Structure 1
Amino acid sequence: MSRFRDRMTGTKYPGSGVAPLPAEEVRAALFAVNGAEKPFRVRHALPTEKGDLVAEWRVLEPAWRSYFVRKQVDRLMKTRMLLDPEKHEVRSLDEEWQVTWLGDTPRLATSRAYGRGQLTTVMWEWEYERDADGHRRRVKVYRFDSRVMKGALQKAVLGAGWTWRGKMYKL
């Protein structure tokens, strides 16, 4: 039953030869995932968020806001993480809100649609254009995939020798 639960929650284990690093080095590895060119960031959790770290999409940052508005991204996703040094694991819980963009200067308004657990959101947009032979073909304009953020976080945790444990209801 535990393998089934691990599969349902997205729990991943490090390779068999990887020694677990101290908690501070795992925290540093998670902060190293940050980058100016990435549409998400890792930060310290607020006291109300009940975790150690939070990874979230940069929807409200001015440099990224126009990108998210232009693409009409209608979901805001956040991954809360709690580090457990005794078990060498990072517990994660995803939260997702449905949002709408309002006004001439776009700002977010959240709706009542909310989800939590282990979530995956994928949105994409296609356009049709003609190739050199005159045939119509479909071209991907953009792709928004929450697995990009989560995959980078998991890679950092597993590389540090810790377990990534997905949680469904609470950390």
Structure 2
Amino acid sequence: MTPLTAAAVRDAVLAVSGPEAPYRVRLASPSEKADLIANWRIQHRSFGEDVDLRLSIRMRLDPHRREVRALQVQRSSTRGRLSASREYGRGGGFTVEWTYERGSDGRRRRVTTLDTRVMGNALRQAVLGAGWTWRPRRFKL
């Protein structure tokens, strides 16, 4: 497969955030020091606490190496009646939540309700499908 141009890769990554996707991919401003940014904000209630989870992936396209460098940042805050907490993570972390439901046969089964790897996997597949390399970063682009 012949690698696509940088403009075609950018368009392929922007197309990942369609009307069905819970996240959005947009062009970054010059002050954000990236070419593209994907954002996903999840607000829900878990164990009687309000959870606000924000996941963003900043991407920089390198046409000479035909690679996309990606830096993932995850922030979460939890607020309950008696407590509050905040977390910050950089790199390849992810969050998975699930619940148990009864199936049609009456047996309990685990159902995934949230998996933040969905956004990163979709972005990575768009880049790899264009013939480029996906390079995750930990500290800076």
Q: Give the TM-score category using the shorter length.
A: 0.7 to 0.9
Contact 1:131 1:137 (C-alpha < 8 Å) held by counterparts: no
> With structure 2 as the length reference, what TM-score do the two structures score?
0.81
Q: Which deviations, in whole Å up to 9, do the C-alpha atoms of 1:141-161 show, x marking residues without a partner? A: x52112211111111101111
User: 1:37 is matched with which residue: 20, 43, 60?
Assistant: 20
Partner of 1:80: 58
Residue in 1 aligned with 2:96? 122
CA RMSD of aligned residues (A): 2.5
- In structure 1, the residue matched to 2:9 is 26
User: 1:138: which partner in 2?
Assistant: 109
Using structure 1 for the length normalisation, give the TM-score. Answer: 0.68
**Which residues of structure 1 form unaligned runs of 5+?**
1-17, 60-67, 103-109
User: In the TM superposition, what is the alpha-carbon distance from 1:131 to its structure 2 partner?
Assistant: 4.9
2:88 counterpart SS class: strand
Unaligned runs of 5+ in 2: none
Higher RCO, 1 or 2 (CA under 8 Å, sep at least 6)? Answer: 1
| Structure showing the higher strand proportion among its residues | 2
- Between the aligned partners of 1:19 and 1:112, the Cα distance in structure 2 is 45
CA contact (8 A) 2:41 2:52 kept: no
Structure that is richer in helix per residue = 1
Percent of residue pairs identical: 50
